[in-house]
Structure 1
Amino acid sequence: MRRFEYKDSRSYKFWEIEVEGASFTARYGKVGTAGQTQNKRFATPEKAAAAATKKINEKVRKGYAEVGSSPATKPAAASDPSEDFSVRADRLQAAGDPWGQRIALTLAHAATKPRSPERRKLAKELKQLELDHAEHFFGAALHQLMQDDNFDKVARLTWAYGYVTRASVGVPNFGYDGPDAVAVLAALMSSPASEFLAELTIGLTDFEGGGLSAAHRAIAAGIVHPHLHTLFVGDFHAEQQEISWVSHGDVSGIYAKAPALRTLRLRGADIGLGELEHPTLARLEIESGGLPEASVASLAKAKLPELAHIEVWFGCEGYGGTTNIEALRPLFSTKTLPKLKHLGLQNSEMQDEIAIELAKSELLTQVESVDLSMGTMREPGAQAILDAAGRFRHLKSLNLSDNFIPSALTAQLRSALGSMLKLGRQESADVYNDEEYYYTTVSE
């Protein structure tokens, strides 16, 4: 399964494709959701492969970028990766664990024809088994919450082999009257049914400005999730809540509870990263209108040996962000991010200082793409890039859009750096009482 993602200031989408024989399967949608699935058959395997290649090329032309292989939708077995779920079912049944029968029934049910008498019979057996052993399968708290008629509004769960493999938790709208979102998340993260949870998305837990700190504590208090590879905390948009009104607090408790985490995305304010170390994290995205100085320092000293993509929105001082380049400076000579290929240091009031430091840094020679967009870069930062243009020419992409670079410098930058440079729209300062004001793209 090859995975491609597209992201701009308004959307964040994925598209996956897998060719198998004379057919391909595509899955697509908003990152953090299960998305939709499309299957297509062809006359020959060669035609299927050619059609898949054509689709991939179309996506790349539209701006999608490949982010590596997607973990299989079928969860891997617990201890031995070569052990499939039928073997797991046999082993658990032999040990007298009802999970064995549950897995066996779900496998048998999936193998029968839709609407067949055999499928109805198996569904009835499975329902009775769940009633008989509900707490063993779900845990007492989750089982009780699942009985509420509004449970599916606050928790969207995808099941496979009796386990939750994908989950999205969050209140659906203002005035929602149903199970408490934090209680649902806490129950899910402590439930035996979440052992094979692979993707988790958390939206707003209320519309009263309560923030997401309780959600982080719920994850930290739950069981270890060895298969969790994608986590997005803060799935909301500006029409629901302002980005700087949703506080995260300390997020570091999640690191140990997701030892195989590959993608971590955080959106909101007051994000405390703590000691940022993780053995498998490959993609880190932090979207903030004001990132605290302590977290900037954590990023600068992060130990992430697998990290290939980082995107950070620093925000502005008025909403808790820092303009202290000293806190970020260790990043530019780091030796603890050996696989980093994409560097996004964006949405910052210190965009000039970031550009100046990057232009002379060791890190620049390592990465393949750089994004310094959405900030307040003016002449100093743009001139630093222009003066060091030769050090930037190896990049596949340099994004300087949505800054305040004067037109004379944009023309020189285009001439020096060519088509890999993305300048997009450049902003103009707001003038009040003869004073000029410069703002990041995202703040409140």
Structure 2
Amino acid sequence: MIDRYASWIHGQIEDHAPSDDHDAVMRLASAAEALGGGGGMIFGMAMPAELTSRAELAELRAEAIAMLERWVPRLSAGATDQLAELARRANLPLDLSERRAVHAARRQAELDERIAKSLTVDVRYSELERAIVEDPEDPESYLVLADYLQREGDPRGELIVLQLRGETDPAAYKAAQKYLDKHREALIGPLAPHQKVHDGSNDDAFIWRRGYIDRAKVSCPDDDADESAAEIVELLLRHPVGRFLRELAIGFDGQPGDGALDGVIAAISEQLAPSLRKLHLGDFEYPDQCEISWFEVGDLGELWRALPRLQHLVVQGGTFELGDIEHERLERLEVFTGGLATTNARAIASLRCPQLRHLDVWYGGEDHGWDGSIQDIAPLLARVDLPQLRHLGLRNCELTDEICAAIVTSPLLPQLAVLDLSMGTLSDEGARMLARQRDALRHLEVLDVSKSFLSNDGRDSLRGICARVIDDDQQDDDGGARYVSVSE
């Protein structure tokens, strides 16, 4: 019986040769995993216990792995990642690095091409439009564009003129609003059903400026909605009225706690938003709308290159991947979470953003994802190549006392105006470390240690250490137990 079963497995492996059935590769990988473990289901049948002691086991596993290697050159990007995760978990000797590199190079080439088109030869952006993309504050560029659109019979031309006048003339502002209401359907087309945020708030989804949508919020917490948040974002970025979008806030794409914003991120990366200056991913109220740890943001890796003029990024949620952070124009980065993964802590510590002025990071608690140590934060404090940084927030952290020990000798400290250590586990001992080096902190405009664990003595030790110390909302340590303010 055992020999017959081994023969049957051999036949199944042969039947799972590379084909158009892409599910077959995962069935084959699962079989290799079971063969390596000496038990379980193989191609839908339970492995006899007696087989685990026979040499056929190792031979069959080797056959399955050899067949998987034949599959590798045919795998899609998603299947490659899926197989890589299974191979890691099952300790399968499969090298997928070359295939992953092929897909990464392909994605990068496609992204480079889209970026190049958006900045140079994309027919959507004439020379007039490109001038506005580069300098959205210049009214003259808008007036020249308005003149061109009026000659073409486009209602946006008149709206540009009226809204420009309305910036300083209340009567013109009312006229612009009346004109916008009259021509709104023609101006926004397929975006008409989405003029209100789909979250029950009845808030306006779009804020207009100079003939175009300037700011937008998209949130669809209902799985049964006619269109998803990702689809609305794609419509917005493809439609002419979204060409000069400067701020975009994303709430939910589906039921709170279910799914991630990967579709939204993909839409932004693929459609591009060359005017976008601010992006908020995870714009929701916690815990009223959703616990912060339940919210999945997704992989932000491609956004850094897809948004060349981005200046302000806010990320709020429990699960996300920041990727390799490199951006020439980013000035403000805020990361709010109940548990920052080590990969993200390291990415922040090694970010390459020469214009960064404001950095605010919540590290969170180990119960909800924080799994790092001071060694994952210390490299940030050792940086000497962030010349514009003035505001540093290392907040909601279980290691606040350790941060205090490191910050007093940090080369970043002399250039800071604001140091925010709030919402964490700062104790009297950490406060004394700061107090002993008060001369190093005297230049600060603000030191924020609110929502910590300071006694009256601890608070007193920081009095007068700098121009303003925020130390309200202190908590009791419950006999030594200290915890971050936001985790779940």
Distance 1:356 1:168 in 2: 41
**How far has the Cα of 1:147 moved from its partner?**
5.0
Show the counterpart of 2:92.
none
Structure with more of its chain in helix, by fraction = 2
Show the counterpart of 2:356.
307
Distance 1:117 1:285 in 2: 38
**How far has the Cα of 1:117 moved from its partner?**
12
Show the counterpart of 1:183.
231
Kindly provide the amino acid, as one letter, of the partner of residue 461 in structure 2.
Q
Distance 1:118 1:377 in 2: 53
Show the counterpart of 1:427.
475
**1:211-226 superposed matches below 5 A:** 211-223=260-272, 225-226=273-274
Going from structure 1 to structure 2, the CA distance change for 1:409 and 1:303 (only over 3 Å counts) comes to: same
Q: Is 1:103 equivalent to 2:156 in the alignment? A: yes
1:298-357 deviation per Cα after TM superposition (whole angstroms, max 9, x unaligned): 111111111111111110111111341111211112123111111110000111111111
Q: Is 1:393 equivalent to 2:437 in the alignment? A: no
Equivalent position SS for 1:438: coil
**1:50-69 superposed matches below 5 A:** none
Going from structure 1 to structure 2, the CA distance change for 1:90 and 1:339 (only over 3 Å counts) comes to: same
Cα pair 2:282 2:315 within 8 Å, conserved:
yes
Show the counterpart of 1:363.
412
Distance 2:404 2:358 in 1: 18
Q: Is 1:236 equivalent to 2:294 in the alignment? A: no
**How far has the Cα of 1:207 moved from its partner?**
2.4
Kindly provide the amino acid, as one letter, of the partner of residue 486 in structure 2.
V
Q: Is 1:289 equivalent to 2:342 in the alignment? A: no
Q: How many equivalent pairs are there?
A: 346
RMSD: 3.4
Show the counterpart of 2:245.
197
Distance 2:178 2:336 in 1: 47
Show the counterpart of 1:67.
none
Going from structure 1 to structure 2, the CA distance change for 1:373 and 1:102 (only over 3 Å counts) comes to: same
Equivalent position SS for 1:88: helix
Q: Greater CA deviation, 419-428 or 310-319? A: 419-428
Going from structure 1 to structure 2, the CA distance change for 1:380 and 1:213 (only over 3 Å counts) comes to: farther
1:117-143 deviation per Cα after TM superposition (whole angstroms, max 9, x unaligned): 99999987x679x4xxxxxx86xxxx4
Cα pair 2:159 2:179 within 8 Å, conserved:
no
Distance 2:405 2:359 in 1: 19
Going from structure 1 to structure 2, the CA distance change for 1:176 and 1:439 (only over 3 Å counts) comes to: farther
**1:259-274 superposed matches below 5 A:** 259-274=308-323
**1:338-353 superposed matches below 5 A:** 338-353=387-402
Distance 2:180 2:288 in 1: 45
TM-score under structure 2 length normalisation: 0.63
Aligned pair partner of 2:459 in 392, 397, 410: 410
Equivalent position SS for 1:77: helix
Cα pair 1:356 1:380 within 8 Å, conserved:
no
Larger radius of gyration: 2
Equivalent position SS for 1:256: helix
Distance 1:207 1:408 in 2: 47
Q: Greater CA deviation, 176-185 or 350-359? A: 176-185
Equivalent position SS for 2:145: helix
Q: Is 1:337 equivalent to 2:391 in the alignment? A: no
Distance 2:442 2:208 in 1: 47
Structure with more of its chain in strand, by fraction = 1
**1:241-256 superposed matches below 5 A:** 241-256=290-305
Show the counterpart of 2:132.
77
**How far has the Cα of 1:204 moved from its partner?**
1.7
Going from structure 1 to structure 2, the CA distance change for 1:412 and 1:105 (only over 3 Å counts) comes to: closer
Show the counterpart of 2:217.
168
Going from structure 1 to structure 2, the CA distance change for 1:337 and 1:93 (only over 3 Å counts) comes to: same
Equivalent position SS for 1:166: strand
**How far has the Cα of 1:246 moved from its partner?**
0.5
Show the counterpart of 2:95.
none
Q: Is 1:441 equivalent to 2:485 in the alignment? A: yes
1:357-411 deviation per Cα after TM superposition (whole angstroms, max 9, x unaligned): 1012111111111010100122442232122121111111111111123433322
Show the counterpart of 1:134.
none
Equivalent position SS for 2:352: coil
Going from structure 1 to structure 2, the CA distance change for 1:321 and 1:189 (only over 3 Å counts) comes to: farther
Cα pair 2:161 2:210 within 8 Å, conserved:
no
Cα pair 1:77 1:88 within 8 Å, conserved:
no
Cα pair 1:151 1:178 within 8 Å, conserved:
no
Cα pair 1:211 1:245 within 8 Å, conserved:
no
Cα pair 2:447 2:466 within 8 Å, conserved:
no
Kindly provide the amino acid, as one letter, of the partner of residue 405 in structure 1.
L
TM-score under structure 1 length normalisation: 0.69
Going from structure 1 to structure 2, the CA distance change for 1:379 and 1:78 (only over 3 Å counts) comes to: closer
**How far has the Cα of 1:418 moved from its partner?**
5.9
Going from structure 1 to structure 2, the CA distance change for 1:118 and 1:372 (only over 3 Å counts) comes to: closer
Distance 1:212 1:413 in 2: 42
Cα pair 1:105 1:122 within 8 Å, conserved:
no
Cα pair 1:314 1:347 within 8 Å, conserved:
yes
Show the counterpart of 1:18.
none
Show the counterpart of 1:57.
none
Show the counterpart of 1:49.
none
> Identity, % of aligned pairs?
32
